[in-house]
Amino acid sequence: MSSPLVIISGLSGSGKTVALHALEDLGYYCVDNLPGGLLPELAREVRSQPERYPRVAIGIDARSGPEGLERMPELLDSLPGSRAFRLLFLDTDEKVLVRRFSETRRRHPLSDLGGVEAAIAAERELLAPIRERADWVIDTSESNIHQLRRQVWRAIGVTENESVQSLVLESFAFKRGVPRDVDMVFDARCLPNPHWQPGLRAHTGLEAPVRRYLESHAIVGEFCGDVTTFLRRWLPALAEDQRSLVTVAVGCTGGQHRSVYIVDRIAGVLREEGVRVLVSHRELEQ
């Protein structure tokens, strides 16, 4: 069941910013680090103007301070309506959080309470009542950015009136491994490789020189056409299986040229046909 308002909370360093960006891809208007005291007013605004705010996601976390977190259960209870909002909570193992803060050298919002480990423990305790009310809990301990985005899309992409709401097309490099949590994989390594053409190696499949080269080979167009036809054929069947989101990965050797071009081309065709398509180029986003 969908809700016009999604609240994202969780431990600092667990990936809340990534989750908000993922919801932006789904058409949500996102607000990060909202002071908790403004939550009831924002909820009323969203509810009173559904056409203007059909989907809103807000991030609330320890940056509001211990007092703000302690007030959160009371503020959530004050929101009008039993389905006024849905709550996503991001959790992460303590050792992973310590490593992330060490690697990024970021300051924990509650570091005034002690070292990083003490701050994490205090935050976890403060957030416990919020976690208990969550509609979804995602453990991000072993998730990278791409995996977390897909987890968020799968959790929140479910609506009452749509079955396959979104199709995720992801390009990747086989030499770096096949992405986890994908539904279908297509191998583009059989196609002509721009990597071996003078002057094309430094470009990507999103750039005109590579696109012109690939489009000059009929087999590339045939590959794109076959994959597009396959997806058209099977998306309705997946919808009947109540799949809210389908992830299709296209790989080549380096994830820079062929797979990037194919994903971008197929996404353009399907978008023109009214399919909601989310695109991710794994190697270009590293």
- Which domains does the chain carry? 5-156 (3.40.50.300), 166-281 (no CATH)
Residue-averaged pLDDT of the chain: 86
Greatest mean pLDDT among 108-122, 154-168, 222-236, 252-266: 252-266
Q: How confident is the model at residue 266 (pLDDT cuts 50, 70, 90)?
A: very high
Residue 259: which of 205, 222, 197 has the closest Cα? Answer: 205
pLDDT in tens, 203-235: 999 999 999 999 999 999 999 999 999 999 988
Greatest mean pLDDT among 86-100, 173-187, 198-212, 272-286: 198-212
Whether the Cβ atoms of residue 187 and residue 181 lie closer than 8 Å to each other? no
Residue 166: which of 17, 28, 13 has the closest Cα? Answer: 28
Residue 279 falls in which region: left (phi positive, over 0), alpha (psi -120 to 50) or beta: beta
238 has pLDDT over 80: no
